[in-house]
Amino acid sequence: MTAEDIEIENAAITRAYKELLQVSYTTLSNDDKKLIRSAFEVAMDGHKDQRRKSGEAYIFHPLAVAKIVAQEIGLDGTSIAAALLHDVVEDSPEYTVKDIEKRFGKTVATIVDGLTKISSLSKEKDMDVSLQAENFRKMLLTLNDDVRVIIIKIADRLHNMQTMDSMRPDKQEKIASETLYIYAPLAHRIGLYNIKTELEDLGLKYTEPDVYLDILSKIKDSKEEQDEYIKQFSSVIQKSLDKEQFDYTIKGRPKSIFSIKKKMKNQGVSFDEVYDKFAIRIIYKSDIENEKFFAWKIYSIVTDHFRPNPIRLRDWISSPKSTGYEALHITVMGPKGRWVEVQIRSERMNEIAEKGYAAHYKYKQGNEKEDNLETWINRLQEALENPETNAVDFVEQFKLNLYSKEIFVFTPRGDLKSLPKGATALDFAFSIHTEVGMKTRGAKVNGKLVPLSHELVSGDQVDILTSESAKPNSNWLDYTSTARARSKIKSALREDKKRIGEEGKEILRRKLKQLKITLNEASINELVNFFKLKTSLDLFYRVGIGTIDNSMLKNFAASRSNALMSFIKNKIKRKATVSKEDIEKEEVTANYDSLVFGREEEKLDYKISNCCNPIPGDQVFGFLTVSDGIKVHKKNCPNAVSLQSNYAYRIMTAKWVDSSQTEFLAKIAISGIDHIGLVNEITQVISSNMNVNMKTLSFESDDGLFSGKIHLVVKNNTIIKKLIEKLKKINGIDKVTRV
């Protein structure tokens, strides 16, 4: 770099530093400013020789992270200093955590140490479990040190996602998948909704770029119309709000690209068919005492002008979400006969919605009960520290519970408890206490005896009946949906299975001895394969409970003898040796010979995954399984994000190179309004189109509506897309989707 370039860069660094001090959400004292200045100087020194992939000086990254922490999340001077220092110990041998503690105090050092530990997690090489899921669990354990560790890590991830353009595509996809899998759910739980939304949109940008750009361009095209609609809606209620002397603002908030894509996929509709692509937000000024009264008064004004949908009222003011979120949400029939979501919030509620944890503590009252976030952290520790918990299961259940809607139910004494929507009586039992859950024998809801699988609704009063003789069984997993309950039940079942397995192993040893077979590693592997099991524990357990009996073991012994005789005869007949690989090799590529893998575009053996059933033309990737070779998945497969995040080292690039000579099975789901001759029209369209061969067709009709499934044999993805478009044009058909 020339002297002039260095001067320009230094000026840019100085501007970024000054801007950091100006945009802080909290008021910075002189001591705060001194602390931040000192942290900035150490960060400058620690990163002086570093540059990012883009070529810019590394110091711009900690400055950007500190700005997100200060402006968007709203943390204090201590957190801003820690954000500036978050990579110093990891990247500079000149600084240790002890050095940081000497200069900045215990709190900053604890946060920096936690962030350094998280960064080092990705370098661990434990191939027996999902790396990312296990790392995620370890990362959450740092919540014990200081919750700000996780918050700054989320800010760090956000800035990395914002500046990924200069990375390799495979690295972009890996980081984006991990973000969708781990960091977006965490941001959601801490109440950082704006950051969660940006992380999801950026995640989509790099995992499904075509989908992202398509929706983005359509949002831009419809912005003018959206702004006009918001103006029209606002003008109707402004007079009434002004008459009541409210101090307020009305804003239109477009739904995120990620949430629109999710609606399109879940509902099987196009962009134009997603009716609630934006929400209208009314933010009013109020003191704490009048907040609730004003919210319902504004609700009354809105519903005086627009007809509400009674089943879409969400009162999170009387019962805030466990994240601390408060608001009234109503859906009303707006101008032009369109449903519109209206969110009513005070300025305080709006700050909590946007800043999450930081704003919640700004407004926290001295007489409040234990904070929801603290309660959540305390509950989390129990699950995190359980060595029996499978890391991937933990993450999946954690995410499931984070994104689910809440219900509010009462204990027999009248205490209010929040649970995810879909929670059962058994989930409630485990939410009271693990021992209560383990000893549950029944439940009463609103005074009536109900099954343990009974799904609770808001307002239920639940009384759990216990017994010392009761214990979990495998059916209980079907009766529960919360992470806490499922984790405890699985742990109890594993212990039970281990005990029975130990007994079964000794029984098996005795029975095999009678058949003149020694129980060793080789015979155990043979038995596991013969009975199509996954592990030796499965084998011992089944022997222990008697589902593998004497006659089945005799069949195994006989098959073993027959296999050996056949092998010897064949070897004698051919006068040649046959390798183990030749004997075991499956013909997995008979129908699929047009895929190539990796940079060298090699043709390898593979299987098509059943979860998404890709066909030529679909964007795909290969996943190297432990025991089933390469499985091919679609890029937008429901399991793709989880696989790419957890097992990046097993992902292989794959692409179709020639599908013209091969035919593939595809499934189509179709629904709409029934009428005479409809099935005939559908079959005519299929039979007259591009050599599509229809294998099976099934239809059901109920009260004038029909639904059906069609199995087709096609040559590639383009043909199926064209066929779907033609089917959509048939009179009466509402939806056509590929399963």
Instruction: Indicate the SS3 state at residue 473.
Output: coil
- Tell me the per-residue pLDDT of 454-485, one tens digit each, with 9 for 90 and over: 999 877 889 999 888 888 887 888 888 887 88
For this structure, is 198 an active site residue?
no
CA 557 to chain centre: 47
What are the boundaries of each domain within the chain?
3-166, 210-363, 492-578, 595-656, 664-738
DSSP category for residue 454 = P
For the chain, the C-alpha Rg in angstroms (whole number) is 30
What percentage of the chain reaches a pLDDT higher than 70? 83
**Contact of 670 with 694, CB cutoff 8 Å:** no
User: In which region does residue 548 sit, left (phi positive, over 0), alpha (psi from -120 to 50) or beta (all else)?
Assistant: beta
Q: HEC states along 368-415?
A: CCCCHHHHHHHHHHHHHCCCCCCHHHHHHHHHHHHHCCEEEEECCCCC
C-beta neighbour count of 122 within 10 angstroms: 10
CATH superfamily of 664-738: ACT domain (3.30.70.260)
Span of 305-309, 511-515, 574-578 with lowest mean pLDDT: 574-578
Token duo for residue 394: 């933990």
Q: What is the pLDDT of residue 204?
A: 94
What percentage of the chain reaches a pLDDT higher than 90? 21
Q: Name residue 672's beta-bridge partners.
A: 706, 733
DSSP category for residue 55 = S
What average pLDDT does range 324-337 have in this prediction?
Answer: 87
Q: Which contiguous run of DSSP H or E holds residue 507?
A: helix 483-514
pLDDT-derived band of residue 143, with 50, 70 and 90 as boundaries? low
Token duo for residue 131: 């790396």
For this structure, is 90 an active site residue?
yes
CATH superfamily of 210-363: Beta Polymerase, domain 2 (3.30.460.10)
Cα distance between residue 448 and residue 196, in whole Å: 41
Buried b vs exposed e over 384-400: b needs ≥16 C-beta within 10 Å? beeeebbbbebbbbbbb
Residue appearing with tokens 């593998």: 548
Token duo for residue 727: 């089917």
Choose the catalytic residue: 32, 91, 134, 178.
Answer: 91
- Tell me the per-residue pLDDT of 596-625, one tens digit each, with 9 for 90 and over: 888 766 778 888 888 888 887 788 999 988
DSSP category for residue 316 = T
664-738 has the same fold as 3-166: no
C-beta neighbour count of 159 within 10 angstroms: 18
Instruction: Indicate the SS3 state at residue 342.
Output: strand
Among 710, 716, 546, CA closest to 620: 716
pLDDT-derived band of residue 563, with 50, 70 and 90 as boundaries? low
- How is the beta sheet containing 664-673 ordered, strand by strand? 693-702, 705-714, 664-673, 733-738
Q: What is the pLDDT of residue 659?
A: 47
Cα distance between residue 612 and residue 255, in whole Å: 27
- Tell me the per-residue pLDDT of 203-255, one tens digit each, with 9 for 90 and over: 999 999 999 999 999 888 888 888 888 888 899 999 999 999 999 999 888 88
The two beta strands, 620-624 and 595-597, are unpaired
Q: What is the pLDDT of residue 253?
A: 80
- On the question of pLDDT at 401 being above 70, the answer is no
Q: Which amino acid is at 698?
A: S
CATH class of the domain defined by 3-166: mainly alpha
Choose the catalytic residue: 90, 214, 276, 371.
Answer: 90
